Amino acid sequence: MSSRSNRRQGYAGFGALALILVVVAGCNSSGATQPPGAGPLASAAPIVVPKESGANSTIGPAATVPPVTVDQITASYEYRDELITPLAHLYGTQLGDFVVITVQNNNSSPIRIVAMSEVPNYTSQSKDTIDIAAGATEEIDQNPRLTTAAIDGLNSAHQADVHVTVSYLDNGQSRTVLDQTSTTLISSRRDFPWEIDGFDEHAEHQLIAAMVTPSDPSVEELIRKAANYSSQHVMGDITDASDALDQLGAIWQSEDKDYHLTYVSTTETFAAKSQRIRLPGEVLPEASGNCIELSLLYAAVAEALGLNAYIVLIPGHAYFLVDLDGQATNYEVIETTMIGRYAFADAVTEGESEFQTAAEHIKAGDTAYDIVDVAAARAKGITPIEWH
């Protein structure tokens, strides 16, 4: 994950330190062979992750279109000159609004206007009908959504048009006030931005949860195939930490034997401050993934199985952490890049060792480390990308 930015302004480091101390409290090199609950990452303390310290979900659009006046009605709009595809469904909540239309009624009587925005061939239409009092001004926030077909086809960035119209009803007849087209850049669904204006780094990192896709058919197929390797030959309905670890190990075997998955480092992107990241449903058929892609795949599986999943970010790398029992008493760390070359137990041992190293950095005050809590991101409204 070498292209992930190392730029850090700092965050509430106490939370990350608490997590490290909780998880590492019982670590040892033989943990991969010990039973969960009595093993290396058992702890009675709750998991804690860094607190957000500067996310701004109301940052303004990047481009402004000059106003137009017709029949004493003035209309203008602001819009984003880049549409971030992996996060497109989060405009209006996490990322502010994609289009903001402003209409001023300078007439002596109220008017009814219809405002519409879209990116033709890529999004649905966003349309609002509102009444504006005499002398009043209204702002209309709109977020046309990328269609799943458009997302599926966005393997690279594309220039596109943003079309905005404002009309008013005059004795039942529609009259146009504004009808304009502006240019935006739609990013590839694989270009995840590690830097977003208005966000601190921890808040930015939490957005990676949008690329954890537990309901993807490919993820569901992996879970079904993994049942052949679990001790009970079933997946889901996890009863305890031992059962969780057994099922996660079955996933490892299926990735290896059924999908021949292996680690391949690919991070190229043509977008500044972004990294090329394939979704879990792309990693499986292509039989390869880099560190963040393989971690996202395991997180998607864990979430689908009802486990609390975490992505650990360190400089140039990422790996997977999971709460095995849902009681904040037993955690396991998995070095997912070892797939195809080593056994699951080896990946657990290596993950624990890496986490020990991370602990030393955090104790020393190094802020170049972060943890993405997928469940917390979901609670905040960071839902999976809508594709397929």
Rg (CA), the chain: 24
pLDDT digits (tens, 9 = 90+) for 83-123: 999 999 999 999 999 999 999 999 999 999 999 999 999 99
- Mean pLDDT value of segment 68-83: 96
Q: Is 83 left (phi over 0), alpha (psi -120 to 50) or beta?
A: beta
Top pLDDT among 39 and 257 is at: 257
DSSP 207-243: GGGGG--TT-HHHHHHHHHHTTTSTTS--S---SHHH
Q: Which domain holds residue 134?
A: 63-186
pLDDT digits (tens, 9 = 90+) for 152-198: 999 999 999 999 999 999 888 999 999 999 999 999 999 999 988 88
Same domain, 19 and 84: no
Same domain, 277 and 315: yes
CATH number of domain containing 276:
3.10.620
- Mean pLDDT value of segment 69-87: 96
**Cα end-to-end span (Å), the chain:** 25
Same domain, 35 and 91: no
Same domain, 227 and 356: yes
Predicted confidence band at 138 (pLDDT cuts at 50, 70, 90)? very high
Q: Which of 68-72, 139-143, 361-365 has the lowest mean pLDDT?
A: 361-365
Of 52, 36, 44, 31, nearest to 354 (Cα)? 31
Residue 281 lies in a domain: yes
Which of 151, 186, 221 is the last residue in one of the domains? 186
Q: Give residue 273's pLDDT.
A: 78
Per the prediction, the chain carries an average pLDDT of 85
Domain count, the chain: 2
Q: Give residue 270's pLDDT.
A: 53
Residue 80 lies in a domain: yes
Q: Give residue 268's pLDDT.
A: 60
Exposed/middle/buried for 267, CB within 10 Å: 0-12, 13-18, 19+?
Answer: middle
Same domain, 269 and 293: yes
Residue 386 lies in a domain: no
Same domain, 210 and 354: yes
Same domain, 233 and 157: no
Same domain, 228 and 315: yes
Percent of the chain with pLDDT over 90: 70
Instruction: With a cut of 50, say whether residue 235 has pLDDT above it.
Output: yes
CATH number of domain containing 75:
2.60.40.10
Residue 1 lies in a domain: no
Same domain, 228 and 364: yes
Tokens 């008013």, residue?
168
Residue 373 lies in a domain: yes
